[in-house]
Amino acid sequence: MTSSGSDTGSSATTRRDPDSPASPFDAFSHDYDEALNAGLSLSGETPAFFARERLKWLARRLLEMGVSVRSVVDYGCGKGSATPLFFELLDAERVTGVDASEKLLEMARATHASDRAVFLSRAGYEPAAREDLVFCNGVFHHVPPPHRPAEISAILDSLKPGGLLALWENNPWNPAARLVMSRVAFDAGAVTLTPPETRRLVEGGGFEVLRTDFLFIFPRVLRSLRGIEPALVRLPLGAQYQVLCRKPAGAGRG
């Protein structure tokens, strides 16, 4: 429930000059999990729970669409904690993690780098119009609104025609999501996006929106009710939502 492809809380991905000051998320690199858990503990679950459930839901949607992905960009990867899940749940062959925080990237490389997983700074990342999927969790509420279209453009240019963007954001219509964010230090000053705002953002950037799903309605104390959540995903009840969209043929690079 917060920000990052990997963890549920990660750094914003706004492009910055290599000579500019370090990412604000560098300051949280050593107590990142503690800061995140200060909020998520209210749900009774861990960041790992939310990371797995997001990827399980996405895998379910891809299976329904008959889509397989070989290459994934985790846009706002943080410490790279979701990297193993892309291989396990999506059967990806290659993962590229991108983040603005060099200190979080150092942690990601130390733990998850391999011949199948690389981690790049946002400043050094160059979209190549070849990826099957970009996964982006909780990043855009950390991106200043005037800079968001540029980030969507970079994501569009990362994908091959027909490639997919799975954009997850915290749902500001959900009181629990707002409470969690109020307790997470690195969410101070974040500007949340409503589902319609996110859809307008991606559509304005050239994407075709396929569907919006809302997840994480019930906390752990009510986990016996989670079996009904799949029937409720079209209702704006969950603490997070996924906007799944496609790059049309002829859009952007590629």
The pLDDT of residue 5 is above 80: no
The pLDDT of residue 22 is above 50: yes
The pLDDT of residue 26 is above 60: no
d(CA 26, CA 177): 24
Mean pLDDT of 210-225: 97
Residue 150: C-alpha distances to residues 4, 85, 107 (Å): 18, 28, 27
pLDDT band at residue 91 under the 50/70/90 scheme: very high
The pLDDT of residue 40 is above 70: yes
What are the tokens at 186?
């690195």
d(CA 36, CA 198): 23
Mean pLDDT of 48-52: 95
What are the tokens at 1?
């429930």
Tokens 């005037």, residue? 146
Mean pLDDT of 40-58: 91
What are the tokens at 140?
């855009």
Closest CA to 133 of 154, 153, 110, 159: 159
Pairing of the two strands 71-75 and 131-137: parallel
The pLDDT of residue 18 is above 60: no
> What pLDDT sits at residue 23?
62
Whole-prediction pTM value? 0.88
Could you tell me how far CA 229 lies from the centroid of its own chain? 21
d(CA 90, CA 137): 16
> What pLDDT sits at residue 39?
67
CATH number of 24-246: 3.40.50.150
The pLDDT of residue 31 is above 90: no
The pLDDT of residue 250 is above 90: no
In the DSSP assignment, the letter for residue 76 is T
The pLDDT of residue 28 is above 90: no
Pairing of the two strands 240-246 and 208-215: antiparallel
CB atoms within 10 A of CB 140: 30
d(CA 198, CA 212): 10
Could you tell me how far CA 110 lies from the centroid of its own chain? 21
pLDDT band at residue 6 under the 50/70/90 scheme: very low
